[in-house]
Amino acid sequence: MKTALTTILLALTSFSLIAQQNIFNRTEIVSPEINKDNTVTFRLKGPEASKVTISGSWMPSKGFESPSEEMHKGDSGVWTYTTEALQPELYRYSFSVNGVRTTDPSNAFAIRDVATLSNIFLIEGGKADNYKINDVPHGTVAYRWYDSPGNDKKRRLAVYTPAGYENSEENYPVLYLLHGIGGDEEAWLGSGRAKQIMDNLIAQGKVEPMIMVMPNGNVSQQAAPGEASDGFKRPTFMLPHTMDGKFEETFIDIIKFVESNYRTVEKKEGRAIAGLSMGGYHTAYISMNYPNTFDYVGLFSPAINVNNNQPKISVAYQNIDEKLKAQLDNGYKLYWIAVGKNDMQMLLDGIQKYRKDLDAIDMKYAYKLTEGGHTWENWRDYLVEFSQSLFKK
């Protein structure tokens, strides 16, 4: 009996060792592999697949279009694709297998944008070093819940405080940073790398230490999908009360919470507001509806004048000429607009119309037309540049 038991234990031990050896000796697929010349090779094992493509943010696009390239199948059933040499940047990509979109199983790093997960990788150097976690003092990000009487609910926002805030008695200026349509309070921290950008630029002395507030611009939500009491709801591109004035009308709830809970400079010269796409639209209307509140205004690819067929019921969208004139008369230090030349034509047209409105009242602004389209690559660039002009002493 004892001999039989010993034999069984030895057999199980031998099987276990073989199994572990197979796990650790298994050939791992490396993807993405960043080569010395900054080309990048992607690999996906799919011996039964008949067609595999890759879509990446380095591929030329126009508006919301996502171009793709075919991958090539090797003898081992591994599909590969190698890019041309890429410039320093944070890139996103995904695969499509027989027409079904999927992430890269060999890459653990992914970001959600609305309802879509994409893998990411970083080509270091140049501006991409702003997006890295470098050996510098780090700020803190907290998700806070605030009362929004105007929306009859508690809502969540993200707050970045710079390194040293907790041990200081100083009052800090605030940048309110708004996301685009389909985004939420996590967007600028994920795809936008806003925390890394602030940490690095503040450490370099290029940006004044500031608090950065990233609210959820969808007033029908309490918080980002999965972070509210309604559970794991699928993220949605269009939500109720999107760009209908409700967010602008109730933005004062956010300012009151921030200035009641953080040490801030409670003056116009201590406040900035900026946003991308829908957030740029919100920024324009918030700043004109609170005309003596912000000294710095940044419109990143603003979706302004793109929904003119919708009725403008909200008070936030009424008497625009008078509100812009009041904003002009109250004064400001910077009104900054930027957009990519390959963005959607309706958006480019809307911005030009808005510029004519500003020109008509001699409202000064800085305008920047860049390469690229409606992309995070542009919006990260815009944040880097815009933030360096804020709160200079």
Q: What is the CATH number of the domain that holds 192?
A: 3.40.50.1820
Q: Are residues 152 and 107 located together in one domain of the fold?
A: no
- Residues 177 and 97 occupy one common structural domain: no
In the prediction, which pLDDT does 232 show? 80
Number of domains in the chain: 2
Distance CA 246, CA 134 (A): 39
Strands (E), 39-184: 40-45, 52-56, 69-70, 72-73, 78-82, 89-97, 100-102, 110-113, 116-123, 140-148, 153-161, 174-178
Beta strands in the chain (DSSP E): 33-34, 40-45, 52-56, 69-70, 72-73, 78-82, 89-97, 100-102, 110-113, 116-123, 140-148, 153-161, 174-178, 211-215, 271-276, 296-300, 334-340, 366-370
Q: How far is CA 279 from CA 44, 82, 205, 301, in A?
A: 37, 35, 27, 9
pLDDT of 137 > 60? The answer is yes
Asked whether residue 156 falls in the same domain as residue 265, the answer is: yes
3-state helix, strand, coil in the chain (%, to 5): 30, 25, 45
Residue 312 forms part of a structural domain: yes
313 found inside a domain:
yes
Domain that holds residue 195: 140-387
pTM of the predicted model as reported, rounded to 2 decimal places? 0.89
pLDDT at 225: 85
Residue 121 has pLDDT above 90, yes or no: yes
Q: What is the mean pLDDT of the chain?
A: 91
Residue with the bigger pLDDT between 331 and 27: it is: 331
1 falls within a domain = no
287 and 181 in one domain? yes
Q: Can you give the pLDDT at residue 223? A: 85
Q: State the Cα–Cα distance between residues 226 and 271, nearest whole angstrom.
A: 31
The pLDDT of residue 66 is 77
**φ and ψ of 95, to 5 deg:** -105, 160
In this prediction, residues 322-341 reach a mean pLDDT of 97
Residue located via tokens 């990446």: 56
Predicted confidence at residue 173, as pLDDT, reads 98
What is the bridge-based pairing of β-strands 78-82 and 40-45? antiparallel
Predicted confidence (pLDDT) per residue in 207-219, tens digit: 999 999 999 999 9
**What pLDDT does 7 receive?**
45
Residue after which a domain boundary falls, among 123, 153, 185 = 123
pLDDT at 10: 46
In this structure, which amino acid lies at residue 109? F
Of the residues 90, 123, 156, which one is the last residue of a structural domain?
123
CA distance 343 to 372: 7
